[in-house]
A and B are shown apart, each in its own frame.
Chain A
Amino acid sequence: MNWIKRLLGRRRLYSDLSEEIQEHLAEKIEELVAGGMSREEATYAARREFGNVTRVKEDTWEVWSFVWLEQFWQDVRVGLRQLRRSPGFTAVAVLTLALGIGVNTAIFSLIDAVMLRRLPVEKPGELFQMQAGDVDEGGGGGSFTTPMWEQLRDHPDVFSSTFAWAGTSFDLAEGGTTRAVDGLWVSGSFFSILGLRPAARRLIADSDDRRGCPAVAALSYGFWREHYGGATSALGSALALGSHPFEVIGVAPPGFFGLEVGGKFDVAAPICAKAIVDGEKPRLDNVHVFWLNTAGRINPKLSRAQLTTRLGVLATRLLVPPNASPEEREALMKIPLRLTPVATGVSGLRGKFSQLLEILMAVVGVVLLIACANLASLALARAAARRKEIAVRQALGASRTRLIRQLLTECALLSFLGALLGVLLARWTAALLLHIISKQENTVFFLDLSLNTRILGFVLAIATLTSLLMGLLPALRSTRVSLISATRGNQSSEAGHLGFRGRQWIVGSQVALSLVLLVAAGLLLRSFVKLVRLDIGFDRNNVLLVETDMKAAEVQPDRLMATYEEIESRLKALPGVLSVGRSEITPISGALLEFGEVQSDWLKLSTSLRAPAHLEDPEAPVYGNWISPGYIPTLRIPLLAGRNFTRADLATSSGLAIINQTFSRRFFPHLNPVGKIFRMNGMPGEKAFEVVGLIEDSKYYSLREGAQAIALLPVNQLPDVPGLFGLHEKLELRTAIPPSALVAPIRAAVRGVSRAIPLQFDTLAEQVNRSLFKERMLALLSGFLGALALLLAMVGLYGTLSYLVTQRQAEFGIRMALGATRRSILGLVMRDLIAVLAGGLAAGILISLAATRVLQQMLFGLGPRDTTTMLLAAGVLSAVALIAGYLPARRATKADPMVALRHE
């Protein structure tokens, strides 16, 4: 490259130029001397004629394009020197920026990992997942049975190639203790279609995935390193999965953690090997177990319209079994097939946390802005102190742009130092946040948080932005000084006031931004408190939940009822247990049971009588639960009319139900429901149910739900669908002693019934609490960040007013000498403060009104424009601001007229 040659030859160029100018001047002087001038005079004259030598040199150098590089390097060196000279300022600035940039980067890297990162597979953009039926918010659900998958595999139709997978948990069972690892059932085509090459030996191939296949397994790279230390001897060895030996055939490439964001796999095995693990009743031929996810590459020859038609045909072929009855066929035909892109992985995490992360990103962004404002304010003060230096430089011929560039370089240095530290901090913060989330959710989330170009780009962008934000205004202002006023050393002149006006803007915007954060934090906090204090209709305290697993214990269906009864009665006898109930699901657990369409004769009769208020949503589904007689008293749900179930009810087969107020209002308007009959579709035999009791409304699925129509049925009436109900019933224990003390006695009591029943413990209070995880996280973090913003704004305000007071010390002295009272001086300073505060508050309220709408979904019991919260936030901010401002203002009143006058 030509310019590299020039860059290297630049010393030569510069020395040539210097010599040339030197010779030019010498020749001129000689000529003038020859013309009769004295040498001294001639020297001056020659210089005068020539102009500013340095300037000419610089202008000449600028002709060559590398000059900016040189100047940049100069600026960096000057900047570093300046920063070293004021270590206090540098430390504060770098630390502030490191924190600000670090937290921003942390949240961004979580967003990146959860939402943006593409799978490290071949052409991820071509991959689509196929799902049938309803898909939940996280993109889960919509899986297929093995026969369905096999049909799709053999006739891929809209896909050019397909694969299937399912997440699972394998028990490595080392030395008697269970050790669960994350497993993956994969089709033979899984790795090859994703274009993954083995890190060692080979991966699962089509030939491994045949009915009756041998037990083979591929390891993830991480698991190979962790479990085997990356030893090649692992290959070909046997790995026990659920006590069945699997041959390790190879290792997947590093960086591939599976398709699910938030999860990882340790061991992958072919789908056919499920038969080996399942034993007697393999899932492979079961047409009722939907467990496989399917995806593939779309046939590129298909147009969009063709794709839609083909999907419709495929849906019928896949979902409707040939022996389906006409009604079944009709129902099944309605289920659509959907294609969703898999480029960034599939994730239940995404739907759950994307909103949380987006709100957090906005909040930490605003905190960074406020921090920048503080630094700009500091930089402005520094610039004011350097007025003399800057004025002299300008007088010596430095151009304004050059000076601005130099001052900005200084800020950029600070920003990039901060960013460097921030990136280190970010890794740590992101890991901490992930840990908190994992802990709260009771699952271990795995996210790939390694640095990539997108994160680095983000850091670069915010570092640049922060240096501009903190540096531009001070640089523009401080380079607009006149030499005379600067060198006169008159600090209280107009320049000082100019500096103040700049800072007024900065502090005003800080106040505005802080108010926005405070309002947001206030809204989230108040929503959270409202949710926590909400009357949920049952007593969540001192209730221990015990979840059973009869499937693992292999209890025969006809023995289930008796086993549960036995356990319930044994637990009741434990000391410290006040009462015991059991049910299919527990409230606010994230599970729900939807019942069929309800019909009551009374409903038809009295439609005209119904008050409009009860007409909320006539189509709203009815939910419910199957409970034992102990359930209602244990949860302390108030019984309003009728009676609770009794042991005797469990012995009869006639339909009984306890309903809540909403159910009663909806289906028995204006009537006493006790003794009335209703029918429910969808239940086996379209049974009639007699209402025996009426209970108060209580929360069922989520604290945010409105009134739900709930019907509680006795446990003995669980529908007889094998493998679907009754295998994981929960026991509720109201305890008089701390629940943790009961864990061991309960285990012992259950072991007395059956050795093999695994138990999981939880408390109702914690379960309810966990449902508020997002709200708690947001309330906590936004509260903390709001307080931080408040503190930053106060420091800014205090600094600015202190600066103003120092600037005007002499003026105040004179005023006092002329008879101004302390009060009037105080008023003078506070007037400035109040002007800034009022402006900032007004702007902040306007921004809040526009911006808090994004919080809508996270709020509860108040709107995004809640007046109380706004007033509260403005009040807190004003109070703190006035205190922060009062301190320097009081100092102003202590101005000694004599000192001030002497200074003048």
Chain B
Amino acid sequence: MRKPDRRDLFPGALEMMILRTLRRQPMHGYALVQHIKRTSDDLLQIEEGSLYPALQRLLKEGLVKAEWRISSTNRRVRTYQLTPAGIKHLNQEVSNFERMLEGVTRVLAGGEA
């Protein structure tokens, strides 16, 4: 059996997207998945379950914190919230990512010319 690693994402991408989403507002797991799927116009095939190990990693590193709340639909949900360390980490990651993307784009553009 293969690991169900369908995500063609580079390592850390999912974490980055989670942090970015949480920066707008605190959210629970389900809402997070739906948001990421929606904003990416379903371009990214994310297995919903794969979110939880990623969230756990962020929790462990202290980039997010979680607490149980009652949602607007009157459910008990575990809501995740960015910590100051998480904000700092996100900024760093985003700028790293942008620099990498720029590099890749340049090479790709050069290859076409």
* A and B pair up: yes
Interface of A (DSSP majority class): helix
Option from B1, B28, B53 in Cβ contact (under 8 Å) with A56:
B53
Most buried by A among B4, B29, B52, B76: B52
A50 near B75: Cβ-Cβ < 8 Å = no
Name the interface size band of chain B. Answer: 20 to 34
Let me know if B30 is at the binding interface, CB within 8 A.
yes
- Hey, which chain B residues are within 8 Å of A76, CB to CB? none
Q: Which of B50, B60, B75 contacts A23 (CB 8 A)?
A: B75
Indicate if A16 sits at the interface (CB-CB under 8 A): yes
B61–chain A nearest beta-carbon distance, Å: 10
CB-contacts of A41-72 with B (<8 A): 49-53, 55-57, 59-60, 62-64
Q: Cβ of A397 < 8 Å from any Cβ of B?
A: yes
Question: When the two chains form their complex, are residues A59 and B53 in contact, meaning their CB atoms are under 8 A apart?
Answer: yes
Does B56 lie within 8 Å of A28, measured CB to CB? no
Given A20-B52, A23-B75, do A52 and B4 touch, yes or no (CB 8 Å)?
yes
Find out whether the CB atom of A51 lies under 8 angstroms from the CB atom of B1: no
> Nearest Cβ in chain B — how far from A18, in angstroms?
11
- Residue interface mask A380-407, B partner, CB < 8 A = 1: 0000000000000011010100000000
Interface membership of B57, Cβ < 8 A:
yes
Question: CA A51 – CA B52 in complex, angstroms?
Answer: 11
Does A20 lie within 8 Å of B53, measured CB to CB?
no
Bound complex: CA A55 to CA B66 (Å): 22
| Residues on B with beta carbons closer than 8 Å to the beta carbon of A53 | 49
Q: Is the CB of A16 within 8 A of B56?
A: no
The 8 Å CB contact of B60, one of A21, A50, A63, is: A63
B102 within 8 Å of A (CB atoms) = no
B-side contacts of A59, CB under 8 Å: 50, 52-53
- Are A20 and B57 interface neighbours, CB within 8 A? no
Give the contacts of A497-530 with B (CB-CB under 8 A).
none
Minimum CB–CB distance for B41 against chain A, Å: 17
Nearest chain B CB to A33's CB is how many angstroms away?
13
Judging by beta carbons under 8 Å apart, are B30 and A27 in contact?
yes
Q: Which residues of A contact B77 (CB under 8 A)?
A: 23
For the complex, is A24 an interface residue (Cβ under 8 Å from B)?
yes
Interface size counted on chain A using CB atoms at 8 A? 27
In the complex, B98 has a CB within 8 A of chain A: no
Report the Cα distance A272→B56, complex, angstroms.
78
Q: Give the most central of A16, A60, A397: most B CB within 10 Å.
A: A60
Contact between chains at B47 and A23 (CB < 8 Å): no
Contacts of A55 in B (CB 8 A): 4, 49
Give the residue name and chain of the A residue nearest to B47 (CB).
Answer: A51
Is B20 on the interface with A (CB-CB < 8 A)? Answer: no
Q: Does A80 contact B (CB under 8 A)?
A: no
Chain B: minimal CB distance from A292 (Å): 69
Chain A 12-29, CB within 8 Å of chain B: the 1/0 string?
000011011101101110
Write the nearest CB–CB distance from B11 to chain A, whole angstroms: 14
CA distance A34 to B91 in the complex (A): 38
CA distance A60 to B56 in the complex (A): 6
Q: Tell me if A395 and B53 are in contact (CB < 8 A).
A: no
How near does chain A come to B28, taking the closest CB pair, in angstroms?
8
Q: Would you mind naming 6 contact pairs between A and B with Cβ atoms under 8 Å apart? A: A23-B77, A51-B50, A56-B49, A56-B53, A394-B1, A399-B3
